[in-house]
């Protein structure tokens, strides 16, 4: 089947390459000429493990090509996936400008039947809007169907998630489009949930909101466990082994970030508000997440004697989580802002993220190595759970530091081991 992917971000590019693996012929299209030129040359404009290798492979097999020519791309393909961004608008709602632009272009250039699939995360009711936008741009009546087919990829493991999905969700009212989608996904060994577009769109928001809720639940419980000197990691393990609860997304830390959870939870709250049905649990999820980073800052302050003025702090990890170079809504950057407000000096490190324009001028500097970053600092603050940071040589680090303080925002360090080396260790209810 000939597939067009519009929007070559991490969702679009991953989706495109996975369809290549399944033997489909795929074209990638983007309004950003630089992205297209980079992809044509076999280069990714973002960091995602395993993806570059697959890109090079399918440039070789000629299963993938990239183009800037939207008119030809729409004409030449049967199924069009919309994978463009839906950033958070000023009022918290998803901004559908890019989706609308794509839908209108499809309407303008299509000359025969197309299946139009929204993979971007879009609010309930968007499939209907896409239908209207396509129709309104058509100069002559050409039939088409719209399908909602959300993605559930995590950054950092997008390729694995796309190749091994827990489920595939297909939302359409058209039998013809449903059959096309089944054919497209026929090689996947997972349940397929077939429903209408509205329910499919809701599934995506509900899934992300539920996961965010698990994180906020465990983070709030961690505060109580901290007070009672109970190890939250043991509690997570103990409840996660109950198959009704499950072990995932129960890792206490400094709060969730990233391009999805904050945006999607807010968008669902907006939909709820506009529908007159408040989602009060979800309101608390947001609240708890906002408080969690403050909670961690207070722990840093307490550990360092209550005043951070002129303290030099090494922040390890800038990405919002490991295995990505994404810093959108990163709790780490949030923390740096607050530490600088408290008059601290920051030395930063990340294995992958290189800030072109570090924030806060002279108060903040990024270093190439962990050794340079921790030298002459009063404390090391761990913000991103990179594997590299799980294997640090703390003995050497202690020699380089001014004061031996570790503040662990991801509960990733063995407390017993570092305390035995003479460190003062503080995690999130990590005993
Ligand atoms: C998420 C969803 O998992 C994915 O299905 C959806 O398609 C996009 O949004 P992503 O944003 O890439 O994926 O990251 P994810 O691994 O879900 O982590 C989100 C945030 O939660 C990160 O900041 C992470 O550090 C934090 N987190 C995750 C925790 O604090 N504790 C956990 O137990 C899990």
CB of 296 closer than 6 angstroms to any ligand 1 atom: no
Tens-level pLDDT at each residue, the chain (431 residues)? 899 999 999 899 999 999 999 999 999 999 999 999 999 999 999 989 999 999 999 999 999 999 999 999 999 999 999 999 998 888 878 899 999 999 999 999 999 999 999 999 999 999 999 999 999 999 999 999 999 999 999 999 999 999 999 999 999 999 999 999 999 999 999 999 999 999 999 999 999 999 999 999 999 999 999 999 999 999 999 999 999 999 999 999 999 999 999 999 999 999 999 999 999 999 999 999 999 999 999 999 999 999 999 999 999 999 999 999 999 999 999 999 999 999 999 999 999 999 988 787 788 999 999 999 999 999 999 999 999 999 999 999 999 999 999 999 999 999 999 999 999 999 999 99
Q: Kindly list the structural domains of the chain, giving each domain's residue range(s) and its CATH number in brackets, ordered by start.
A: 2-195 (3.40.50.720), 196-431 (3.40.50.720)
Q: Is 83 an active-site residue?
A: no
CB of 154 closer than 6 angstroms to any ligand 1 atom: yes
Cβ atoms of 426 and 404 within 8 Å: the answer is no
| Closest listed residue to residue 363, CA positions, set 394, 384, 334, 342 | 342
Distance of alpha carbon 5 from alpha carbon 82, whole angstroms? 6
Q: Are strands 424-426 and 405-408 parallel, antiparallel or unpaired?
A: parallel
C-alpha pair distances (Å), 400 with each of 270, 308, 375, 424 = 49, 20, 5, 15
CB of 260 closer than 6 angstroms to any ligand 1 atom: yes
What is the full DSSP assignment across 368-398?
A: SSHHHHHTT-SEEEE-S--HHHHT--HHHHH
Q: Which of 20, 225, 260, 383 is catalytic?
A: 260
3-state secondary structure of 349: strand
Strand order in the sheet with 192-195: 64-67, 25-29, 2-6, 79-82, 114-118, 144-148, 168-171, 192-195
CB of 8 closer than 6 angstroms to any ligand 1 atom: no
Distance of alpha carbon 150 from alpha carbon 169, whole angstroms? 7
Alpha carbon of 69 to ligand 1 centroid (Å): 35
pTM score, two decimals?
Answer: 0.95
């Amino acid at each position: 089947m000939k597939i067009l992917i519009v929007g070559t971000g991490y969702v679009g590019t991953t989706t495109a390459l996975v369809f290549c693996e399944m033997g489909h012929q795929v074209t990638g299209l983007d309004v950003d000429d630089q992205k297209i030129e980079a992809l044509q040359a076999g280069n990714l404009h973002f960091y995602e493990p395993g993806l570059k290798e697959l890109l090079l492979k399918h440039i070789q097999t000629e299963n993938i090509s990239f183009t800037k020519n939207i008119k030809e791309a729409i004409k030449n393909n049967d199924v069009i996936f919309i994978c463009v961004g839906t950033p958070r608008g000023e009022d918290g709602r998803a901004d559908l400008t890019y989706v609308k632009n794509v839908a209108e272009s499809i309407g303008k250039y299509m000359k025969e039947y197309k299946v139009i699939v929204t993979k971007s995360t879009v609010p309930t009711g968007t499939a209907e809007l896409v239908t209207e936008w396509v129709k309104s741009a058509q100069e002559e009546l050409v039939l088409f169907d719209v399908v909602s087919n959300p993605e559930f990829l995590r950054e950092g493991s997008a390729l694995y998630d796309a190749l091994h999905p827990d489920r595939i969700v297909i939302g359409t009212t058209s039998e013809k489009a449903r059959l096309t989608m089944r054919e497209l996904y026929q090689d996947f060994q997972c349940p397929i949930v077939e429903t209408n577009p509205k329910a499919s769109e809701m599934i995506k928001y509900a899934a992300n909101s539920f996961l965010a809720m698990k994180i906020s639940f465990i983070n709030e419980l961690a505060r109580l466990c901290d007070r009672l000197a109970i190890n939250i990691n043991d509690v997570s393990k103990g409840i996660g082994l109950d198959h009704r609860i499950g072990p995932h997304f129960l890792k206490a830390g400094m709060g969730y970030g990233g391009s999805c959870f904050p945006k999607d939870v807010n968008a669902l709250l907006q939909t709820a508000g506009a529908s007159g049905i408040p989602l009060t649990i979800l309101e608390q999820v947001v609240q708890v997440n906002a408080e969690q980073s403050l909670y961690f800052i207070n722990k840093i302050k307490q550990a360092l004697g209550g005043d951070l003025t002129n303290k030099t702090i090494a922040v390890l990890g800038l990405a919002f989580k490991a295995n990505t170079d994404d810093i959108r809504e990163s709790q780490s950057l949030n923390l740096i802002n607050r530490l600088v407000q408290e008059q601290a000096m920051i030395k930063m490190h990340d294995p992958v993220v290189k800030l072109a324009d570090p924030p806060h001028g002279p108060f903040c500097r990024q270093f190439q190595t962990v050794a340079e970053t921790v030298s002459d600092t009063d404390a090391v603050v761990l913000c991103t759970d990179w594997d590299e940071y799980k294997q640090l040589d703390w003995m050497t680090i202690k020699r380089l530091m001014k004061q031996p303080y570790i503040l662990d925002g991801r509960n990733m360090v063995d407390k017993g081991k570092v305390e035995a080396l003479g460190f003062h260790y503080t995690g999130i209810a990590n005993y």
